[in-house]
Chain A
Amino acid sequence: MNKATKAAILAVTTLLIVGSSVAAPRLLLKEESFDFGYAPQNSKVSHVFWLYSTGDDTLKILSVKPG
């Protein structure tokens, strides 16, 4: 095995190791939408969405903005 081949194998191995060890957070929304149907004016209605952390690092919720 020549020097160039060894270097290539080492580089690929390093990339694989580094790539597999980078932890990434992931947000999963099992329910993405909710229809309240008919609701009266001048009132407040609410619904709870569940946010799941399914990555391999802690998920941080940085902000929730109205849209």
Chain B
Amino acid sequence: MEKTAVAVGDSTKLEIIFSTRKYRSTVKKSPRIKTNEGGPEKRVHISTTMTERPDSTYPVVNTPYKVDMSQFTEKKVIRKKLEITNVSDEDLQISLVGWAEDYFDVKMPESVRAGKTVEAEIVLHKDVYDKSFDKSLTFELSDEKHSRFTIPVKRTVRNVRTPGTRAAGGSGGK
């Protein structure tokens, strides 16, 4: 939460982080928001379908199905590629529906033809190079079910030395 007091006409972000752990099948959660508005608490709802083998989920295969952008040496890790293979027999449109906009950009192809593979790319924002985080990106396909896939994007930064600075810690403090 960016701020807990929101002036009239202003807005704030509420980030919901969900740890998928060993959950199976579909999981729904509804965090409650209590405000000075009075009345019943408001809720936001999230749902996800856990996959044990997400590398073989129809109609696309995402490789990798989890993106690790960790950096443990001086070699900068600031971009990662992700392959999306269409294993169905129809061409699919791809729509990016959510990602951590404050942390990275996503270059996502608009479509993938049946049987073909396309490449997406995650590019970190410069101001998060020394930060560790757990975020994700979500895209939706144009198949009959409008299938959605969420790719976790994780980054841990340790022992990074840049000229004139001390090593950055795992929590990524500036």
Asked if B42 and A53 sit within 8 Å, CB to CB, the answer is no
Asked if B147 and A62 sit within 8 Å, CB to CB, the answer is no
Interface residues in B4-50 (C-beta closer than 8 Å to A): 4-23, 29-38, 42-50
Whether A53 contacts B9 in the complex (CB less than 8 A), given A38-B148, A67-B31, comes out as: yes
Asked if B36 and A37 sit within 8 Å, CB to CB, the answer is no
Q: In the assembly, what is the distance between CA of A46 and CA of B1, in Å?
A: 13
Whether A43 contacts B66 in the complex (CB less than 8 A), given A48-B15, A50-B13, A66-B31, comes out as: yes
Q: In the assembly, what is the distance between CA of A34 and CA of B17, in Å?
A: 12
Whether A56 contacts B8 in the complex (CB less than 8 A), given A32-B44, A38-B57, A48-B13, comes out as: yes
Q: In the assembly, what is the distance between CA of A27 and CA of B30, in Å?
A: 17
Whether A47 contacts B98 in the complex (CB less than 8 A), given A29-B42, A41-B21, A59-B5, comes out as: yes
Interface string of B139-174 (1 = CB under 8 A from A): 010000001111010100000000000000000000
Asked if A41 and B20 sit within 8 Å, CB to CB, the answer is yes
Asked if A60 and B31 sit within 8 Å, CB to CB, the answer is no
Whether, in the assembled complex, B51 has its beta carbon less than 8 Å from a beta carbon of chain A, the answer is yes
Stretch binding the partner chain, chosen from B79-87, B121-129, B130-138: B130-138
The residues of A that contact B7 with a CB separation of less than 8 Å are 53, 58
Asked if A39 and B100 sit within 8 Å, CB to CB, the answer is no
The residues of A that contact B14 with a CB separation of less than 8 Å are 48-51, 61, 64
Q: Which of B3, B47, B52, B101 contacts A36 (CB 8 A)?
A: B47
Seen from chain A, the residues whose Cβ lies within 8 Å of a Cβ on chain B are: 24-27, 29, 31-67
